[in-house]
Amino acid sequence: MKLTGIREAYGETLAALGELYPEIVVLDADLSGSTKTSLFAKKFPDRFFNMGVAEQNLMGTAAGLAASGKTVFASTFAIFASGRAWEQVRYSIVYNQLNVKIVASHGGVTVGEDGGSHQSSEDIAIMRVLPGMRVIVPMDGKEMQEVIKTVVKIPGPFYIRSSRVKFPLILGDDYKFELGKGKILREGKDLSLIGCGLMVSQCLEAAETLAKEGIAARVVSLSTIKPIDEELLVDCSLNTGGIVTAEEHSVIGGLGSAVAEVLSEKSPTYIVRVGVQDKFGVSGSAPDLLEYLGLTPGNIVKAAQQIMEHRSQKTIPVV
Amino acid sequence: MLDTVQIEKLESLAKTIRVDILKMLNNASSGHTGGSLSTVEIILSLYFHKMRHNPKDPKWLDRDRFVLSKGHGAPALYTVLARSGYFDLSELRNLRKLGSILQGHPDMKVTPGIDISTGSLGQGLSMANGMALALKLDKRPSRVYVLMGDGENQEGQIWEAAMAAAHYKLDNVCGIIDHNGLQIDGPVNEIMKIEPIADKWSCFGWEVFRVNGHDFREIIAALDKAETVKNKPSLIVARTIKGKGVSFFEGKVEYHGIPPTDEELAKALVELGIT
Ligand SMILES: Cc1ncc(C[n+]2csc(CCOP(=O)(O)OP(=O)(O)O)c2C)c(N)n1
């Protein structure tokens, strides 16, 4: 399968948009080579500000620029963008609904070897909880390009998760991103596999395996986690027999939680959440970590089987 | 330079503002008395003398900006904005009430004339820097003023921002410290020493001025000088008295976050010459 760089897609698209939108200003915190804002910096040095290793000040400065009419892209690693500067994001940016797009690289656990200090399994939860914040986790490089081209035109704050590792290319050239809309990538009536980011391709792989067992799984990419596509989720609940969510994030507060929140109120069904099980990451290669933390197509298949096995009963047994 | 008539006008206005503040705090039954009263001359000097702004057009792109980083001083700013004509004086009676345009801390979304929301200490200077960078990119001559507390200077983010303003040579930024020596739990230098505060800012690359923060002549002279500083930001350390203007509030740490009672208000008004 062809791989696409997520952060590369961000950096290249941003540098290209710089031409069309003179109001774009980009901030980074000494990680521009990693987040790929360096591509913009090289082309538009006057509109790029390296804030040094000072993420709180970065977010505050972004707010001030946005309050003066700029479209600000603010980048650093996901854990620091969301965690270190959470309260600045909350009050300086989101409270004021300012036009700041936080594009946070090295989301999730595929940061790999740097270990638990640099991995981020909590960012979706703590960004999603902010009133008026919109959260997007693109599934491949093509989607990242489209997301950046879309959000530049929509005022207000966004949190967009980027990644160190490359993701398999899923989408075709004609793909258009629509904020707040999930996408059915494969039809199936037995259950739905709903993923975001890297886990979308894992869901597709899992669906292949399940098909061989005679289980027809629908695969949905839910790249916009907020605002969430309630209509599609209810449709999954009504027209398929259960849901597996898959995310490179804690099962607490992320995509799985968001899906469960909607469906427990609107259309209850079985939901099994594949994700990081309330754990910190450790050092390791990205593939080893996905295995270690239970984020593989195999884990999704197992979750699907669990639902298939028990959905005629009232409860899924506690393990 | 200001002539005596101008000074007298500002001084009389300062009294009016103090009366407004005390009344609105008493009416709201909550809010920050001490740290509002200490800022009166500073904020008045900005809005009634130094800043280019237009109450009829609060979003005028060429206006000077003001960031009240010590957002709990909002009552002082609100009264000055009302007296400038940004909104009706009657709004002051709605301070901190549900649905009011006057939130407990400054809120750009609902109050005309507020350039950015504050209240979470330590965030103001970063936002002021962002505005200053944008103004420079757009080649606008406007300046950005940001008023901080001395206790607030204990926040790490302020020093990140202090470094950044000097690094980016933001000579359109003018910081002011309301140096009243008190914070909530006690005197600043007993809680967490910030001295020598002027030296610290100067080490961080700022041009530093010291003034008596209740003397219009000194404040305005420093604001004028700050405007001539090139290639670096300026900071004015304004020596002030917390609770200034009401003898029984002055220098009293316990009047940080409580409003005047009816009796205190009556006594204060007598002191301020209102009967
Ligand atoms: C981040 C943050 N922490 C705590 C508070 C609560 N708080 C409000 S005022 C204050 C003391 C501020 O002292 P100083 O800056 O000296 O203000 P002043 O004495 O001039 O009122 C504190 C701790 C806050 N508003 N923001």
- Determine the average pLDDT of the residues in A115-134: 97
**What pLDDT is stored for residue A238 in this prediction?**
97
Does residue A312 surpass a pLDDT of 90? no
> Could you tell me what percent of chain B has a pLDDT over 70?
100
**What pLDDT is stored for residue B159 in this prediction?**
98
Instruction: Give the residue from A225, A206, A226 showing the smallest Cα distance to A215.
Output: A206
Q: What is the distance in A from the centroid of ligand 1 to the CA of B12?
A: 29
Cβ(B122) – ligand 1 distance below 6 Å: yes
Cβ(B72) – ligand 1 distance below 6 Å: yes
Q: pLDDT tens digits for A191-205?
A: 999 999 999 999 999
Does residue B199 surpass a pLDDT of 70? yes
Pocket test for ligand 1, best of B70, B125, B180 (most atoms within 8 A of CB): B70
**What pLDDT is stored for residue A314 in this prediction?**
74
Please tell me if the domain spanning A3-168 has the same topology as the one spanning A183-310. yes
Q: What is the distance in A from the centroid of ligand 1 to the CA of B185?
A: 10
CATH, domain A183-310, list 1.20.120.420, 3.40.50.920, 1.10.3720.10, 1.10.10.60: 3.40.50.920
Q: pLDDT tens digits for A222-277?
A: 999 999 999 999 999 999 989 999 999 999 999 999 999 999 999 999 999 999 99
**What pLDDT is stored for residue A311 in this prediction?**
81
Q: pLDDT tens digits for B19-28?
A: 999 999 999 9
Catalytic residue set of A: 55
**What pLDDT is stored for residue B39 in this prediction?**
98
pTM of the model: 0.95
Q: Half-sphere exposure of residue B107, counting CA atoms within 13 Å on the CB side?
A: 15
Cβ(B272) – ligand 1 distance below 6 Å: no
Mean pLDDT of chain B: 97
**What pLDDT is stored for residue B2 in this prediction?**
87
A47–B123 C-beta distance less than 8 A: no
**What pLDDT is stored for residue A25 in this prediction?**
98
Question: Looking at chain B, which residue has its C-alpha nearest residue A63?
Answer: B127
- Burial pattern B39-67, b for ≥16 Cβ within 10 A else e, equals bbbbbbbbbbbbbebebeebeeeebbbbb
Count residue pairs from A and B with Cβ separation < 8 A.
103
Q: Which member of B109, B115, B126 has the closest CB to residue A61?
A: B126
Tell me what percent of chain B is helix, strand and coil, each rounded to the nearest 5.
45, 10, 45
Does residue B150 surpass a pLDDT of 90? yes
**What pLDDT is stored for residue A313 in this prediction?**
80
A64–B126 C-beta distance less than 8 A: yes
Domain boundaries, chain A: 3-168, 183-310
Q: Which member of B61, B130, B160 has the closest CB to residue A64?
A: B130
Q: Where are the beta strands (DSSP E) in chain B?
A: 65-68, 144-149, 173-179, 207-212, 234-239
**What pLDDT is stored for residue A310 in this prediction?**
85
Does residue A315 surpass a pLDDT of 80? no
Q: pLDDT tens digits for B21-55?
A: 999 999 999 999 999 999 999 999 999 999 999 99
Task: Grade residue A59 by pLDDT with cuts at 50, 70 and 90.
Answer: very high
- Determine the average pLDDT of the residues in B66-89: 98
Amino acid making up residue B21: I
Q: Which member of A25, A57, A65 has the closest CB to residue B160?
A: A57
**What pLDDT is stored for residue A138 in this prediction?**
98
Q: Catalogue all structural domains in chain B, each as residue range(s) with its CATH number.
A: 4-271 (3.40.50.970)
Instruction: Give the residue from A130, A125, A267 showing the smallest Cα distance to A196.
Output: A125
Residue B8, Cβ neighbours under 10 Å: how many? Answer: 12
Task: Give the gap in angstroms from C-alpha A91 to the nearest C-alpha of chain B.
Answer: 7
Cβ(B242) – ligand 1 distance below 6 Å: yes
**What pLDDT is stored for residue A51 in this prediction?**
98
User: ipTM value of the model?
Assistant: 0.93
Q: Is the Cβ–Cβ distance between A267 and A240 less than 8 Å? A: no
Cβ(B150) – ligand 1 distance below 6 Å: yes
- Determine the average pLDDT of the residues in B180-184: 97
- Report the CATH superfamily, name and number, of domain A3-168: Thiamin diphosphate (ThDP)-binding fold, Pyr/PP domains (3.40.50.970)
**What pLDDT is stored for residue A319 in this prediction?**
59
Query: In chain A, what residues touch B120 (CB-CB under 8 Å)?
Result: 87, 91-92
Task: Give the gap in angstroms from C-alpha A68 to the nearest C-alpha of chain B.
Answer: 6
> Could you tell me what percent of chain B has a pLDDT over 90?
99
**What pLDDT is stored for residue B275 in this prediction?**
67
Q: pLDDT tens digits for B200-235?
A: 999 999 999 999 999 999 999 999 999 999 999 999
Instruction: Give the residue from A141, A114, A71, A85 showing the smallest Cα distance to A281.
Output: A114
**What pLDDT is stored for residue A190 in this prediction?**
97
